[in-house]
Structure formats: structure tokens, C-alpha cells
């Protein structure tokens, strides 16, 4: 693992050929990778992109940390968070996604 600091004073970490914004995010990737190997989750994706639409208008995008399918086949989107990364823009994006039909709920990992 290679680490250096980013704007939130986290250590940017490289693991398994991927760059993560924090050690905590790299650790969560390792955990999810093990769950996938054990057959608990599938279709693990890093940095999933979800378009942000309001009244049918594209206004931007949300980029999560991870996406996967749970055993029930439901898509789960995770974002590794700290108090510093729960910004007003993040909170707004999360609220917009919750208005979708069906709603998209972000699972926050602290």
C-alpha cells in the first residue's frame, strides 16, 4: 500500500491496483472483495456513477465509492464517510437520489 494525504487529511491509498481516497475506503474494498469471494455479494463495482435528474432534467452526477448486488439481487451503493466528507453538496445529492422511483438510498460506512 502506498499512502499520501488528500484535502480531508486522509491518506490516499493504493491497493490492488486501485487508488482510494482514504485507508478506510481501501479497507472497505478489501472487506467487500472478501464478501464477493465468499459468494455473499456479486458484481462489485468501484466508483459507480448515477445521473442526477430533477424533473427529468440532468443536473449532474453522483459518484459513489462502491456498488454491488446483495444475496437478494438488490443493488447497494456505498459511500465511505467521515464527518468532514458529509458536505452540503453530498447531502443534496443524497436527497435527490432518495426521490427516485424506486428510491436510491446510499449506505454510508463510517
Instruction: Give the tens place of pLDDT for each residue, 25-37.
Output: 999 999 999 999 9
37-44 mean pLDDT: 98
- Strand partners of residue 19: 14
How far apart are alpha carbons 88 and 68 in whole angstroms?
Answer: 26
How many other β-carbons are positioned within 10 Å of the β-carbon of residue 43? Answer: 10
Determine the Cα–Cα distance for residues 13 and 6; give it in Å rounded to an integer.
10
**Model-level pTM?**
0.88
The answer to whether residue 70 scores a pLDDT higher than 60 is yes
Can you tell me the mean pLDDT for 28-55?
Answer: 98
Residue ranges making up the domain that contains 80 = 2-109
Report percent pLDDT > 70 for the chain: 92
Question: What pLDDT is stored for residue 1 in this prediction?
Answer: 54
How many structural domains are present in the chain? 1
Cβ contact 25:101 at 8 Å: no
Number of alpha helices (DSSP H) and beta strands (DSSP E) in the chain: 2, 9
Amino acid at each position: 500500500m502506498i499512502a499520501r494525504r488528500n484535502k480531508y487529511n486522509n491518506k490516499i491509498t493504493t491497493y490492488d491496483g486501485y487508488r482510494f481516497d482514504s485507508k478506510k475506503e481501501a479497507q472497505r474494498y478489501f472487506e467487500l472483495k472478501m464478501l464477493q469471494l465468499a459468494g455473499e455479494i456479486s458484481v462489485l463495482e468501484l466508483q459507480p456513477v448515477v445521473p442526477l435528474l430533477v424533473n427529468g432534467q440532468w443536473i449532474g452526477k453522483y459518484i459513489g465509492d462502491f456498488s454491488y448486488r446483495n444475496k437478494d439481487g438488490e443493488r447497494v451503493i456505498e459511500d465511505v464517510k467521515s464527518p468532514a466528507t458529509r458536505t452540503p453538496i453530498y447531502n443534496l445529492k443524497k436527497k435527490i437520489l432518495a426521490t427516485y422511483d424506486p428510491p436510491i438510498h446510499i449506505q454510508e460506512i463510517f
